[in-house]
A and B are shown apart, each in its own frame.
Chain A
Amino acid sequence: MAKELTPQEMLRIDLTPPNKDWMDIPTVIKPGIYCYPAKPEKVEIVGMPNPHVWSPLDDDWGLPEDWKETFLEGMRERLNKHRSFKIFMDICVRCGACADKCHFFLGSGDPKNMPVARAELIRSVYRGEFTKAGKILGRLAGGRKITEDVLKEIWYYMFQCTECRRCSLFCPYGIDTAEVTIIGRELINLFGLNINWIQEPVANCYETGNHLGLLPHTFKQNIEFMCMDIEDFVGVTIEPPFNKKGAEILFVTPSGDVFADPGIYTLMGYLLLFEHIGLDYTWSTYASEGGNFGFFTSLDMAQRLNAKIYAEAKRLGVKWILGGECGHMWRVVHQYMNTFNGPPEFLEEPVNPLTGTKFENAKSAKMIHISEFTADLIKHGKLKLNPKRNDHLKVTYHDSCNPSRGMGMFEEPRYIINNVCNNFYEMPENTIREQTFCCGSGAGLNAGENMELRLRGGLPRANAVKYVHERFGVNMLSCVCAIDRAVLPASMEYWVPDVNVCGVSELVGNALIMEGEHDRPTDLRGEEIPGFAKAEGEEEVTEDV
């Protein structure tokens, strides 16, 4: 698709793009926007169809001969299986309410990134191939046939949607474009056309239990390394339990917290919290991933990868499950897990062992969010906190899409932040809570090669951060999602360079007053805290003084 420009073309600098119908504007696939294709061996590991080597810039994508039949059959099957998909194909009146709500449209200015237009890429095929009007009238009825170019266009734009569902909030019919993307990606996966940034974590997760493919001993060792850091920075020795049978609670978090900066500091926050309250819990080196990149591949794959959580809870004989800070993990847990692999009759309704609070919201799925748990502990005065340790931070909170729009969790993280920090500033109303803007890199788009896309998608969020940074001096962007923590630093580096990113539990960890702690001049990152650092020349206080 990419071609060398002729000298004449090079000299032509068009300032005004053509005014044509969207179907007449060919999609040009550009580096910086797409992610690298899935490696065949990673497709093969999980038994998905048509593993092969291909490139989005080639004309030939290595499609099987009967690909059109497979595509149409796949679409027919999904139209019958998912009532929502069928309805979403039929009822859109193209009112445009969603058009300007997508971060990718707002950041790129590309009209095909208007949610209505992105869904229309598939909807037009539905009309052209499945409806009478579309079959007879074709383009007059907004229909078109599936061709290789159409498939390529669908591929390009299905990976320019982070399934954040902001658009669905504004749709008067409740059309959830994320579900259209989910089905669109399922169709793409019928031909081995996934992106590697999703496929490899899926294969890793299938083989070792987590996206990074960390083996049990590495997973354990990693957390133990963080305990060594805690010993240095806090002076408390923590020996976290792994695969402990009969523990009351199983704790599952995205593996991003185990290996990636700044997620590891959030994990140190969890470790300190559990130690602080003497929780009877366990880590699992098998259910070592809360995230689920299967969800960005197909619903079947999401189900397969999700199964390990309940299976491990059963094997270890825990009462209920506590989940760490993650985004899409909570969409899966909150809206799919219970029917994917549950309901888990062998588990009990979650009850906070320290406060007695029953989490009725998780009565069926038996899994609650760490922020719900922490907020409950604070509310009942179970945590000793010194928020002054976070005084050097001016914090704002980014509502991660899935915990906010996907499960309605708005207050708990704010309640926690207000208790562990003294300087909290909200971003503008139309950029938070239900209306939060995506980080721009969710749904498996957090690769490096598509950085231009990520920066475009990150613009609306960064624009709001920039506002509170300039107005209040905000220097810390907190969130409850591992992908946010992994990708927002790059976005901030480009758009608002003086703002750092952290998890809410990191702020908790810094504020917790631990029993037996020594002087803590630094935070969990090992960075000196102003006002807590020893003055120059000051002697270290020894025990016998």
Chain B
Amino acid sequence: MGRNLHKGLREILVHKKGPIVEKWRELIHKSYPPETAQFLKREKDRFSNPIGSSIEDSIWPLFDQLIGEADPSTTKKLLDNLVRVRAVQDFTPASAVQIIFALKQIVRKEVLPAAQKKGLLREYLEFESEIDRFGLLAFDVFMECRERVWEIKRNDLLKRPYLLAGGMCPSYMMKRGIKHLEKLKKEITQH
């Protein structure tokens, strides 16, 4: 990933990093309603603005991963930070991960003309494919998050019946809770 990025193209990307990532941030902010986008932009305290800080903390190093020596686990961690929040918000799966693909629109405006001038169109297209790969990875992360939400929901449901069963003593069942859960999970898988 990114390893074969042409030196000339990388120079342009490094040079344009500031404006590109800033525009990317703005685009992600604007995927929220206007009042929210304003807030995400305005509030700088990371604890008063957890969505904003998750974006800010992810996009800069993610761009570095795109143009530098990408480390798969770091890339995934950064994408996780960005997508985990969106996975429980009012986004469809497509609009949750579209923020990665949308980076192409920005890079096209900022970098493509200069790349073409230097005859680096082919290299540029390869770089766009790299963004696509990040987008697909983001979809993996999105699905992992959604699966996690359902696992948490399922565990909640599995716990409930025996906790609510009138005749049973809950703490007695609790002691056997893990076995009980495992048995129920097994039954679910079998049927």
Contacts and interface: CB of A to CB of B under 8 A. Distances in A.
A14 B33 CA distance: 11
Contact of A15 (B98, B145, B174): B98
A264 B174 contact: yes
A109 B47 contact: no
Given A452-B149, A493-B148, A109 B30 contact: no
B74 to A, nearest CB: 15
A16 B48 contact: no
Nearest to B167: A218
A15 B99 contact: yes
A222 B170 contact: yes
A106 B50 contact: yes
Interface string B26-58: 010011111110011001011111110110000
Interface stretch (A61-69, A322-330, A458-466): A458-466
Given A15-B30, A493-B152, A106 B49 contact: yes
Given A15-B98, A108-B90, A226-B171, A260 B53 contact: no
A348 B83 CA distance: 56
A333 to B, nearest CB: 25
A216 interface: no
A475 B50 CA distance: 21
Contacts of A490: 152, 156
Given A459-B85, A463-B50, A15 B166 contact: no
Nearest to B81: A466
Contacts of B31: 15-17
Given A110-B33, A451-B149, A212 B47 contact: no
Given A109-B33, A448-B153, A15 B102 contact: yes
A448 B160 contact: yes
A99 B39 contact: yes
Contact of B169 (A16, A30, A225, A452): A225
A1 to B, nearest CB: 14
B143 to A, nearest CB: 14
Contact of A451 (B35, B94, B152): B152
Interface residues of B, number: 49
Contacts of B84: 494-495
Nearest to A464: B47
A100 interface: yes
Interface string B146-158: 0011001100110
Nearest to B99: A15
B150 to A, nearest CB: 8
Interface in A449-490: 449, 451-452, 455-456, 459-460, 463-464, 467, 490
SS class, residues of chain B in contact with chain A = helix
A8 interface: no
Contacts of B50: 106-107, 459-460, 463
A14 B95 CA distance: 7
Given A15-B27, A15-B102, A260-B163, A109 B149 contact: no
A19 interface: yes
B164 interface: yes
Given A108-B90, A260-B163, A448-B157, A17 B32 contact: yes
Contacts of B171: 222, 225-226, 229, 258-259, 264
A448 B156 contact: yes
Contacts of A495: 84
Interface string B125-141: 00000000000000000
Contact of A30 (B32, B46, B90): B90
Interface in A401-447: 428, 430-431
Given A13-B92, A16-B31, A222 B152 contact: no
B177 interface: yes
Contact of B47 (A218, A467, A494): A467
Interface in A269-284: none
A461 B156 CA distance: 21
A451 B156 contact: yes
A251 B23 CA distance: 59
A153 interface: no
A215 B164 CA distance: 12
A100 B149 contact: no
B149 A431 contact: no
Interface string A511-537: 000000000000000000000000000
Nearest to A493: B152
Contact of A218 (B35, B88, B169): B169
Interface string A98-135: 01100001111111001000000000000000000000
Contacts of B164: 212-213
A311 B23 CA distance: 64
B164 to A, nearest CB: 7
Contact of B172 (A114, A225, A261, A494): A225
Nearest to B34: A19
Contacts of B88: 107, 452, 455-456, 494
Given A225-B172, A259-B171, A264-B174, A110 B152 contact: no
Nearest to A15: B31
Contact of A108 (B34, B53, B89, B163): B89
Contact of A110 (B36, B48, B153): B36
A147 interface: no
A70 interface: no
Contact of A259 (B32, B90, B163): B163
A221 interface: yes
Interface of A: 13-17, 19, 25, 30, 32, 99-100, 105-111, 114, 212-215, 218, 221-222, 225-226, 229, 258-261, 264, 428, 430-431, 448-449, 451-452, 455-456, 459-460, 463-464, 467, 490, 493-495
6 contacts: A15-B99, A107-B88, A258-B170, A430-B47, A455-B149, A490-B152
Given A109-B32, A463-B47, A463-B53, 15 more contacts: A15-B98, A17-B34, A99-B39, A106-B48, A106-B51, A107-B51, A109-B51, A213-B166, A221-B169, A226-B171, A259-B170, A456-B88, A456-B89, A459-B50, A494-B145
